[in-house]
Amino acid sequence: MALELIERRQRRNTTIASQGLEARALLACGHAEGARRTAIDLARSYPRHAGALAAATSVLAAADDFAAVEEAVAAYLDAKPNDMQGILSMAAAAATTGRAEIADTYLQRLGAGVPAGITDEQLVQLRWVADKLG
């Protein structure tokens, strides 16, 4: 019932946030393929949007589609080289899927300490990745 309600609302008002919500809801309901397709569509529709990237890569990592994560992050970082959200999204996805070496490589790009201009949400993500890596 809840999934049907989300789908009806989606058809009326599609935003980046609502597409991210749809992908997460599909994943939570056990519809990994639908979640994956929605996340890929989100990343491809908004290849330069930090929020779209964060939502898409978290769902893709949870659905264990690291190739799609790499594609989304590559497109984002091509447009915004060394952008913190792109780097954190890749590090988090790599950590989620057990690719510690890749996660560490991306975290190293941020340098030592807490990067200037980091948002609260990004700080939480950075800490999560660091904790996951040990």
Confidence of residue 12 (pLDDT cuts 50, 70, 90): low
Number of domains in the chain: 1
E strands, the chain, are none
Measured distance CA(5)–CA(114) in Å, rounded: 41
Measured distance CA(124)–CA(15) in Å, rounded: 24
Residue with tokens 């309901």: 29
Residue 114 has pLDDT above 90, yes or no: no
Q: For the segment 14-69, what is each residue's pLDDT rounded down to a tens digit?
A: 788 989 999 999 999 999 999 999 999 999 999 999 999 999 999 999 999 999 99
The enclosing domain of 49 has a CATH number of 1.25.40.10
This prediction's pTM? 0.84
Distances (CA, A) of 104 to 19, 25, 43, 70, 98: 29, 29, 23, 15, 11
Q: For the segment 95-107, what is each residue's pLDDT rounded down to a tens digit?
A: 999 999 999 999 9
Structural domain containing residue 18: 2-133
